[in-house]
């Protein structure tokens, strides 16, 4: 399968953000924190001596006990902040951590990286709303880049770095690829259902008011029946059901999560 040209562009933006920042906020989807980590980013940050912080965003979609467990695991490696742009959670904690780092490091430039749809732009916007200083950056710091001054010593790179160098099928499982653009949405939906059936089947019961079946294909059919997604002749419209499930995953309507 050929990788779209836009991926290469995104890759270069992510690289640029990585290069320009000395503090990196890696935004993770709190539902699947370990699957939305990117080891390459972490490796590069380490090699270049950059501070990395995990932002466990969309925490409103998961249980508190799960969040604590995930945070504990993640913090073995990097500082982790439980965040929700939607519920306005974590911002104060993040700003105070950034101030602490700035105290040690002097001026810091904060870059935001993460898979598509994890909430990078939303995070940038909420940081911008909190900014305590004017937008004009210090001379010599801009060089044409968009930097937002958040505090005396804290600058935010206004463009997020998007991690896309994976196949659409894998990205869709992370809620990071438009389901309508998948070649075989049914295969991907079945894979996702397999995972949810293993980890948190009641999320399917809640979202679709169905009885779950251990068999993912049967579960997909049950969802199709419930939604009445049929083709002429009365058969299940597998493609349509698969896309609906993947959209619900992407939008956070399916509240399954796992480590
Ligand atoms: N439930 C929930 N949804 C959120 C949260 N933060 C962002 N979202 C939603 O997630 C979707 C993606 O948010 P964006 O900020 O556009 O994500 P992004 O990472 O910049 O996405 P790309 O531009 O595709 O790379 C939007 O529908 C947001 O409303 C959150 O804390 N909780």
Report the CATH number that the domain containing residue 110 is assigned in CATH: 3.40.50.300
| pLDDT at residue 111, as a whole number | 96
The predicted model gives 124-140 an average pLDDT of 66
Interface confidence, given as ipTM, is: 0.98
Say how many domains are in the chain: 2
20-55: per-residue pLDDT in tens?
A: 999 999 999 999 999 999 999 999 999 999 999 999
Same domain, 135 and 203: no
Q: Are 19 and 111 in contact (CB under 8 A)?
A: no
Same domain, 42 and 147: yes
Same domain, 142 and 193: no
Mention every residue, 6+ apart, whose C-beta is less than 8 A from residue 233. none
Same domain, 155 and 178: no
Between the CA of 60 and the centroid of ligand 1 the distance, in Å, is 12
Between the CA of 123 and the centroid of ligand 1 the distance, in Å, is 8
> Is 256 inside any structural domain?
no
- Does residue 134 register a pLDDT over 80? no
- Ligand 1 pocket, mutate which of 61, 119, 121, 171 (most atoms under 8 A from CB): 119
Same domain, 130 and 179: no
| pLDDT at residue 71, as a whole number | 98
The least confident of 129-138, 150-159, 181-190 is 129-138
**pLDDT band at residue 226 under the 50/70/90 scheme:** very high
Residue 223's domain spans which residues?
168-251
For ligand 1, atom 17, name the residue with the nearest CA: 119
> Is 185 inside any structural domain?
yes
The predicted model gives 144-162 an average pLDDT of 87
**pLDDT band at residue 10 under the 50/70/90 scheme:** confident
166-199 CB burial, b ≥16 within 10 A, e <16? bebbebbbbbbbebeebeebbebbbebbebbbee
Chosen domain end from 138, 162, 186? 162
Chosen domain end from 162, 190, 218? 162
Between the CA of 255 and the centroid of ligand 1 the distance, in Å, is 15
Same domain, 87 and 200: no
For ligand 1, atom 21, name the residue with the nearest CA: 117
Residue numbers in the known binding site for GTP are: 57-60, 117-122, 161
User: For residues 25 and 6, which has the higher predicted lDDT (pLDDT)?
Assistant: 25
What letter would DSSP give residue 56?
Answer: E
Same domain, 125 and 29: yes
pTM score, whole prediction: 0.91
């Amino acid at each position: 399968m050929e990788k779209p040209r836009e991926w290469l562009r995104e890759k270069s933006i992510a690289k640029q953000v990585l290069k320009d920042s000395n503090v990196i906020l890696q935004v993770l989807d709190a539902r699947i924190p370990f699957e939305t980590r990117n080891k390459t980013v972490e490796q590069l940050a380490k090699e270049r001596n950059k501070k990395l912080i995990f932002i466990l965003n969309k925490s409103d979609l998961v249980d508190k006990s799960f969040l604590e467990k995930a945070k504990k695991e993640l913090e073995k490696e990097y500082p982790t902040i439980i965040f929700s742009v939607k519920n306005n959670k974590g911002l104060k904690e993040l700003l105070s951590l950034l101030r602490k780092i700035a105290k040690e490091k002097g001026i810091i430039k904060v870059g935001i990286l993460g898979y598509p749809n994890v909430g990078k732009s939303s995070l940038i916007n909420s940081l911008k709303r909190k900014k305590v200083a004017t937008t004009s950056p210090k001379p010599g710091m801009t060089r044409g880049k968009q930097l937002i001054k958040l505090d005396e010593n804290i600058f935010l790179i206004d463009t997020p770095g998007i991690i896309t160098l994976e196949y659409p099928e894998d990205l869709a499982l992370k809620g990071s690829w438009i389901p309508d653009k998948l070649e075989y949405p049914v295969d991907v939906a079945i894979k996702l259902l397999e995972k949810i059936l293993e980890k948190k089947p009641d999320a399917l019961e809640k979202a679709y008011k169905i009885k779950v079946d251990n068999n993912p294909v049967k579960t997909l059919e049950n969802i199709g029946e419930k939604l009445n997604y049929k083709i002429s002749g009365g058969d299940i419209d597998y493609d349509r059901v698969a896309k609906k499930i993947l959209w619900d995953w992407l939008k956070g309507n399916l509240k399954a999560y796992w480590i």
